[in-house]
Amino acid sequence: MEPNFEVWLSNNRGMVAGSHRKGHNVFTNTGRDWLRYLISYKGIGPDLTNPLGADDPHETGRIRWIGVGDGIQAAHADVVGLANPLQVNASDWWKPLPAPVFVTETALRYQVSFGPAEIPAGGNISEFALTKGDGPTTPAATDPDHSILFYMTIPPLGPKAGNTLTLRWELRF
């Protein structure tokens, strides 16, 4: 299976030697459950009591946030959260994702960078997660409504002060 995830550290001289990691993510059971609700409706047809109109979707949340951690757990479909989340700044556990790039008719890619102030300089990063959101409100680290949809674990990557962590996460259908 071709890798759909890669991450690396860089600084003003380019990519930090030995920091490039690649792999393939896990689509969690929570993510599969979310997808079945995302593509379906609770009700279809005239419903004047529904503020959304005639068609009433089960789910409106989209992939919106990324989290990182330094925990260790097996990457499998039953994963429901980061083993040990890291804060991405003084108050937030999740970083908003930019709009995706549609790289083919069946794939999209998120690319996001964490600046030196967003990841603890001395920590090892070994896990990543995508979660959903309905808007700009940042979810709490342990908010059960923000269980992870996609999960990735890598051999620990130890960022050093002044480096930027960049990742590309491609979702293929």
Q: Which DSSP state fits 77? A: T
Q: What is the mean pLDDT of the chain?
A: 86
Q: 43 or 64: whose pLDDT is higher?
A: 64
Mean per-residue pLDDT for 154-161? 84
Mean per-residue pLDDT for 57-67? 88
Of 106-110, 119-123, 147-151, least confident by mean pLDDT is 119-123
The torsion angles phi and psi of 24, rounded to 5 degrees, stand at -125, 130
- pTM for the model: 0.88
- Show the domain range for 17: 5-172
User: What tens digit of pLDDT does each residue of 10-30 get?
Assistant: 999 999 999 999 999 999 999
- pLDDT beyond 60 at 142: no
- Beta-strand runs (E) in the chain: 5-11, 14-15, 21-23, 26-27, 41-43, 56-57, 62-69, 85-86, 95-96, 101-104, 107-114, 125-133, 150-157, 164-172
139: left (phi over 0), alpha (psi -120 to 50) or beta: beta
Contact 4, 154 (CB under 8 A): no
As a whole-number percent, the residues of the chain with pLDDT over 90 amount to 53
Best-predicted range by mean pLDDT (48-57, 96-105, 119-128, 159-168): 96-105
What CA–CA distance (Å, rounded) separates 62 from 50? Answer: 21
Contact 108, 101 (CB under 8 A): yes
Q: Is 149 exposed, middle or buried (0-12, 13-18, 19+ CB in 10 A)?
A: buried
In the chain, how many domains are there?
1
Q: 62 or 52: whose pLDDT is higher?
A: 62
Amino acid at 20: H
